[in-house]
Copies of this chain bind each other. A is one copy, B any other.
């Protein structure tokens, strides 16, 4: 920076002004400074900048590798953050790298706000985070914690899916839940309520699971094993999310069950995956773009008005009917 200043015949302060795009420099000097900077390959050091400024204007995003819905969200976070003049730092949770570790990395980089995609942290930890930095939890709702929430209308999504299945004549509908995963509790509850509402209470069955393909495969195998022991196969499966649904599809198809003739499968997320199945996955659509925008906006607004109370955005869900859902087999109606 000093080199640029000297070569352009101005002070360092002026160079700073130019690079911050602030008023206080004549157009002529501005151009000269930029030209000189370009010549000697100068670019401002973010770390020093951040340090001097006292503010980082950086939003940290924690996501989980392999969660395709998260990448959908990330895609929406970048442009909105940029529009509002914020930088984005990504940190992934993965096998061997816990969510807490990923978050620590973000905090060490002095992110002012955290956006947690599908966190499965405990309420106390979330609350602590929320007090340490502006925090937005996407997909996961933990009312006890001092954080903003952005999620879709889980209840509505499940209700739409269940109505669709019941309308197709299904009665033996099982739900594979997402364990402690984001949204799981709400979806489970909504499933039970829907079964009750349709008078299918006695058929209701929640199989514990996770938001992974493996979990779907496992559950698929379990159901096949039950069938081989003479128990009836369900005619429809409402999976905890798309990945789990894909796992179910895979296990079932391998086991000779034809979808959707013998079995209907409904996912949740409308992540990138849903389009991939040759026949298309029937799923509940969450508007990733909109969720991302809300998350960023919540964070920024609370950053700029710290006295604001955390808020909650519940975005609409829609059912997207594709190829994996069809009429229940006559025999099972």
Contacts and interface: CB of A to CB of B under 8 A. Distances in A.
B75 A110 contact: no
Contacts of A74: 65, 92, 94
Interface string A115-156: 000000000000000001000000000000000000000000
A326 to B, nearest CB: 15
Interface string A251-276: 01110000100000000000011011
A48 interface: yes
A78 B97 contact: yes
Interface string A93-129: 0111100000011011110000000000000000000
A200 interface: no
A29 interface: no
What is the copy number of this chain in the assembly? 2
A279 B277 CA distance: 11
Contacts of A43: 104, 107-108
Interface in A276-295: 276-280
- Residue among A56, A78, A89, A280 with most chain B CB within 10 A: A78
Contacts of A56: 47
Nearest to A92: B74
A65 B78 CA distance: 11
Contact of A92 (B78, B108, B109, B250): B78
A132 B94 CA distance: 30
A298 to B, nearest CB: 21
A241 interface: no
A202 interface: no
Contacts of A66: 68, 71, 75, 272
Contacts of A273: 276
A110 B249 contact: no
Q: Can you list the 7 inter-chain pairs with the closest CB atoms, starting with the nearest?
A: A253-B278, A90-B90, A47-B47, A46-B108, A47-B50, A75-B94, A250-B278
Interface of A: 41, 43-48, 50-51, 56, 65-66, 68, 71, 74-75, 78-79, 87-92, 94-97, 104-105, 107-110, 132, 213, 246-247, 249-250, 252-254, 259, 272-273, 275-280
Given A43-B108, A68-B68, 8 more contacts: A43-B104, A43-B107, A46-B109, A65-B75, A79-B96, A90-B91, A213-B275, A246-B276
